[in-house]
Amino acid sequence: MSKIWALFRLTRIEHSAMLVIAVIAAELISGPLPSFPILLLSLITPIFVSMGSFAINDYFDVESDKSNKRFDRPLVNGELSMRSALSISIISFVIGVGAGAFINAYAFAIALIFGALAFLYSYRLKDMLLLGNIYIALSMAIPFLYGDFVVSSMLSKGIAVVFFIVFLSGLAREIHGMIRDYRGDAKARRTRNLVHRIGSLRSAQLAFLLYAEAILISIFAFFFIAPFMFNLSYILPIGIADAMLAYVAILALFRGSHSFYKSARNISLLAMGVALLGYLVSPLLHFIV
């Protein structure tokens, strides 16, 4: 049982659950849900590509995690071996990308590209100025694009709006994570990222601007973009999520402690979960009404 729990923590299974919700929400926003076999395949892809991404990230990041005293990580505390993490990653990528191949060419291409990018991120992109953070933000937003192309061959306006909201807030969250982990990453990986170039304060200011843009776009969607337009089931959870993101964005300008950024990351993750609820429920009520 302890090994299974370690596996869940290695692959961050809670993120897979959020991706499943994101894909279903995107399919509802873009059109009716696909047939059950296609729906099942469309959920297998994000679950396993995400699992593989986190496993390979911990594999390459083990020294940095040791420097950052991340004893909650299974490779740091010895619950799982390096070889196990590599095997889990490879198997997960094969299952995830393979499932996409049975849906359509768009789904397969998205799964394949992001599976390859996940490896490149952990191996090298993470240490390159902003490129790694942009990848992570894209990986948070891409499930909506993926879900759209499972049921449609065109990008809907609703999906485009959600994509940019999630991307911008995800990039801001990544910048906060860079500030939190900078010392350990610089020591273990000799990282020369955004925080190294412009400092913690200016990085926090950039994160504030990105969060502000995401919040403004989410408000714009309530007034102009279906199925969110004047939809209370959208604006209520989104309003709560926006308030949480504004809270961490503003306080980050004045508090620079490691403990603050750790709690800020948790709050922003919770905010994204609340926002997912709005993206999931609002298209259901829109089409019912």
pLDDT of 289 higher than 60: no
CA separation for the pair 15, 262 (Å, rounded) = 17
Q: What is the pLDDT of residues 47-97, one digit of tens each?
A: 999 999 999 999 988 887 887 778 888 888 888 899 999 999 999 999 999
CA distances from 95 to 88, 92, 143, 146 (A): 11, 5, 17, 16
pLDDT band at 254 (very low <50, low <70, confident <90, very high): confident
The CATH number of the domain covering residues in 1-152 = 1.10.357.140
Q: What is the pLDDT of residues 222-250, one digit of tens each?
A: 999 989 999 999 999 999 999 999 999 99
Structure tokens at 243: 């308030």
Give 106-110 contacts, CB < 8 A, sequence gap 24+: 106/149, 106/150, 106/153, 107/42, 107/45, 107/146, 107/149, 107/150, 110/142, 110/145, 110/146, 110/149
Provide the pLDDT for residue 125. 79
Q: What is the pLDDT of residues 152-208, one digit of tens each?
A: 988 999 999 999 999 999 999 989 888 877 665 555 556 666 776 788 889 899 999
CA separation for the pair 70, 130 (Å, rounded) = 23
Average pLDDT score over the chain: 89
